[in-house]
Amino acid sequence: MTLLRTFSLFVVAGCGAILLSSCTGSSTPNNVVINGTVSSGGSAPAVAIGGATVSIYQAQTGTPILVVQTTTDGAGNFTAKVPVSNTNTNSNPALYYAVATKSSGIQLIASLGSGPLSAVKINDLTTVATAYAFAQFLQSDLSIAGSAIPLSIAAGMAENLVAAESGSASIVIQTSPNGYETNTWSALGSLANKLAACTQGLSNACTALFAATPASNAALPTNTMQAAVNIALNPANNVTGIFNLVNATNAYSPALTANQGPSGLNFQKLQAWTMALKVNNSGNSNCPFGGPANVAFDVNGYAWINNNVLQPTANSSNCLMVLQPNGKPATGLLNTPNSPITGGGILGSGFGIAIDTLGNIWSGNFGWGNSFPSSGSVTKLSSLGVPVSPSTGYTNGLSRVQGIAVDQSNNIWMASYGNNSVVVYRNGSASNAASYTDSNTEPFGVAIASDGSAWVSYTGSDTVSKLKITNGTISKLASVILPAGSNPKGVAVDSLGNAWVAAGANSTVYEINSSGTIIGTYTGQGINGPWGISIDAKGNPWVANFGDVALPLDQVPYSVVQLCGATGNCPVGVSTGTAISPATGYTLPSAGSQVLLNSGVPLYGTGSLPSYRPLMRLTSVNADMAGNIWAANNWKPSAVSDLSNPGGDGMVIFIGVAAPTKAPTLGPAQSP
């Protein structure tokens, strides 16, 4: 993508009738000349779409600005001049997109990024990519609206799927750790072929496509773009029906084969029309991904990721990763972090990572493998990744830190697993600690409610407690005893004050009201050894499945489960605690190639048995500001046989499936 820049649009007298924005400033704009093509088809000879109206918009929080409108010639080509101001800064980039309309039923779209791009091929493939990446920002009239950073994140994800300049799958999708290691490249081609049949006028193709892709309220789409958006927003709906559309073309390849369809082979089976991107480049081969555990997003959308072990060992990693919003490693350019981060006591990072009200990052250190004698600590980093804590981390009151959360008063709550305590660094000061200990053991997850209280899960005593800090002292407000052996780990709190708890040993998610009463017990529906849980801005819980080690390992499809929350922001007919995702959860099937590490070495090492599971044992799932779900591949798929080499590989990003969620998180999730 082009470097993010901010542009305000102005018209200059005499620029031409196709310039539709109004003169509102004295700055003289530059014209970015866009040379584009509207067509259908990729690997097969493309079918030019002549006589299409091309409208170029600048997206914003309200109604987008229609900047330029023109028409394609007989070869599907167009040229448009987009006036952009050269007086703005990098802090608030504008986002552009182009819509091509041939008829009431044929509408295609492409993201132009923030440049905008000077060349674009608008086709069925760019339409699918844009529909997914901007799924949460597309309005009922199919316009795009949102604030600058979330829109720029969505634009980056669109470009990760399809390169709009060429109108073909991106290099990111075509190569490891994607390529044929996942089914995303082929799924993109399949959906583009369904649209292309309609775009190219195959008999009854539009009617069949629209009938197969209703919205969540059962309303049928009336054009190709709406059909793509409906699939993106409802990926578990009518999976087989869409796959079996008989009028699809072969215009784009690769595409899903019969073995990769809903009735396909075990780890290639299509469970939902999700689009997922795997990323595993840490930024430095000396500290590769090895057991990423949890993620916190900063105000700019950067992902800070705890990393357990040094791949491919069981020994503690001494670094954590920082990825740009598009999943590429942070580079340190333009006053940004430089991934990976070392120092400040980072050693075997555990489950806990959070960002405080001043932008500092707090990461818990557990210590693994040959570093296990370490008693653990917490690391504090500046917003640029510069260590603030000493080389041993802060240790006051702490032993093997797991969950971490920051409340609205900048108190840092930590689950000190090793000494059965909950420790709070009041106002972010390691020298101003408060500690709470009772009969409960092994605190693990921490989540903050809107009133500043904290819910803490105790894995050792199968308990969840609600704590509050008042006048510097921690007290217990409520305690909930779960079934013996339930082993609760992750906990999240919704805007209504309900705590949602992931209990891995009995594959259950519990919903507990603010008074401490269990009001929901949810099992099945793909919930399989849940570990982490988070809630998006619509109040819907997302569950990370670590898997049940008692099940046959070759039969476990690791997955992410989306539940309907208590706030009622769910598809029609779906009640609280019922899965929105399919019966297996959202999986990431293989397309037939074995999983490789970023080094190019097979997941289990050269000469070992290959793995075909790009989505592994998960410990966390979190929504970013564009509605992408980031899932942490914490442990290799075969689990108990990998104690000497446990660290899973990379992060898997499910694009556009969740409600965009404000970052950083302080209390219950909010919209950005």
Q: Are residues 376 and 450 in the same domain?
A: yes
| CATH number of the domain where residue 578 is located | 2.120.10.30
Q: Which of 123, 154, 169 is the last residue of a domain?
A: 169
Mean pLDDT along residues 232-254: 94
Mean pLDDT along residues 77-106: 82
Q: Are residues 152 and 259 in the same domain?
A: no
Q: What does the block give as tokens for 369?
A: 């493998």
Confidence of residue 42 (pLDDT cuts 50, 70, 90): confident
Q: Which of 208, 240, 268 is the last residue of a domain?
A: 268
Confidence of residue 266 (pLDDT cuts 50, 70, 90): confident
Q: What pLDDT does residue 640 have?
A: 57
Mean pLDDT along residues 586-598: 97
State the pTM of this model. Answer: 0.95
Half-sphere exposure of residue 89: CA atoms within 13 angstroms, side-chain side: 3
DSSP letter string, 395-428: -TT-SSEEEEEE-TT--EEEEEGGGTEEEEEGGG
Q: Are residues 519 and 588 in the same domain?
A: yes
d(CA 146, CA 63): 9
Q: Are residues 375 and 316 in the same domain?
A: yes
d(CA 242, CA 193): 11
Q: What pLDDT does residue 265 have?
A: 85
d(CA 243, CA 245): 6
Residue 35 backbone dihedrals phi, psi, to 5 degrees: -105, 120
Half-sphere exposure of residue 182: CA atoms within 13 angstroms, side-chain side: 27
pLDDT in tens, 268-318: 999 999 999 999 999 999 999 999 999 999 999 999 999 999 999 999 999
Residue 237 predicted with pLDDT over 80: yes
Calculate the average pLDDT of the chain.
Answer: 92
Domain-embedded: residue 665: no
pLDDT in tens, 187-232: 999 999 999 999 999 999 999 999 999 999 999 999 999 999 999 9
Residue 495: count of CB within 10 angstroms of its CB: 18
Q: Are residues 162 and 140 in the same domain?
A: yes
Q: Are residues 138 and 190 in the same domain?
A: no
Domain-embedded: residue 124: yes
Q: Are residues 444 and 579 in the same domain?
A: yes
DSSP class of 389: S
Q: Are residues 428 and 402 in the same domain?
A: yes
Q: What pLDDT does residue 6 have?
A: 29
Confidence of residue 554 (pLDDT cuts 50, 70, 90): low
Q: What pLDDT does residue 49 have?
A: 98
What would you report as the CA-atom Rg of the chain, rounded to the nearest whole angstrom? 25
Q: What pLDDT does residue 557 have?
A: 73
- Residue 120 contacts residue 143 (beta carbons within 8 Å): no
Number of domains in the chain: 3
Domain-embedded: residue 12: no
pLDDT in tens, 392-431: 999 999 999 999 999 999 999 999 999 999 999 999 999 9
Q: What pLDDT does residue 14 have?
A: 29
Q: Are residues 106 and 185 in the same domain?
A: no
- Residue 50 contacts residue 97 (beta carbons within 8 Å): no
259 lies in which domain range? 172-268
Q: What pLDDT does residue 3 have?
A: 30
Residue 233 backbone dihedrals phi, psi, to 5 degrees: -80, -20
Domain-embedded: residue 290: yes
The single-letter code of the amino acid at 476 is K
Confidence of residue 583 (pLDDT cuts 50, 70, 90): very high
Q: What is the dihedral of CA 410, 404, 670, 291, to 10 degrees?
A: 140
Pick the range with the lowest mean pLDDT from 135-144, 543-552, 565-574: 543-552
pLDDT in tens, 458-509: 999 999 999 999 999 999 999 999 999 999 999 999 999 999 999 999 999 9
Give me the percent of the chain exceeding a pLDDT of 90: 86
Q: Are residues 155 and 214 in the same domain?
A: no
d(CA 289, CA 287): 7
Q: Are residues 200 and 217 in the same domain?
A: yes
Q: Are residues 441 and 513 in the same domain?
A: yes
